[in-house]
A = this chain, B = another copy of it.
Amino acid sequence: MPSPPKTTDAEIISAARRLLERVGESGLSMNEVASAVGVRAPSLYGRFADRAAILTAIQLDLWRDLAGALGRAARSSDEPVEGLRAQARAYRAFAKANPRGYALIMNVDAETTDEGKRARAAAVGFALPPLASLVGEEHALAAARVLTPFLHGFVSMELAGGFRLGGGVEAAFDFGVTTIIDGLRRARGASRTNAKRSRSR
């Protein structure tokens, strides 16, 4: 006499994600996740290997959401600078909407699956085309390694309660994005520090 499932993987993940935002990673217990989907803790082990597997699944979910938001932003404009600005805004908005989740996917100790790595690469990748048209194909990766760290650093400092010395955080963010894009434009061609070799000579 087979028992019908009381829940699904997807329901567990989304319940766990909501719980994560409410109680933080260390507060996310198997008991609470289970009771949020109307089941007992041991039942979760039929679907996920352990607590870490649930966290990993949440991460994948978050990476996909972030990649989606960045993709939409990228498609919002053909003009590279405007496209980059839109992505920057979308990135910050995502982090502010999912602060605990954002911290989770950026965590040092986070385990990642191959799927997670792919979703992560996709998210990072959306900045490359506009950067390429801004600084040239061969400097796009180097440029991404300036802009992306700034975005991550800014929002994670903001979420951690930084920027308390006054002044608008919104304006500071825009200023940072503008300054970096300007700096990158200037570095175009001039710097070969981070290019493997300079062919055009």
Contact = CB atoms under 8 A, between A and B. Distances in A.
A42 interface: no
Interface string A128-140: 0000000000000
B176 A146 contact: yes
Nearest to A179: B183
Given A160-B108, A179-B180, A172 B194 contact: yes
**Contact residues on A (Cβ < 8 Å of other chain), bracket:** 35 or more
Copies in the complex: 2
Chain A interface mostly: helix
Given A150-B153, A180-B180, 18 more contacts: A26-B109, A107-B160, A108-B160, A141-B165, A145-B167, A146-B150, A146-B175, A146-B179, A146-B180, A149-B152, A149-B157, A171-B194, A172-B194, A175-B187, A178-B191, A178-B193, A179-B180, A179-B187
Interface of A: 24-26, 99-100, 103, 106-110, 141-142, 145-146, 148-154, 156-157, 159-160, 163, 165-168, 171-172, 174-176, 178-184, 186-187, 191, 193-194, 196
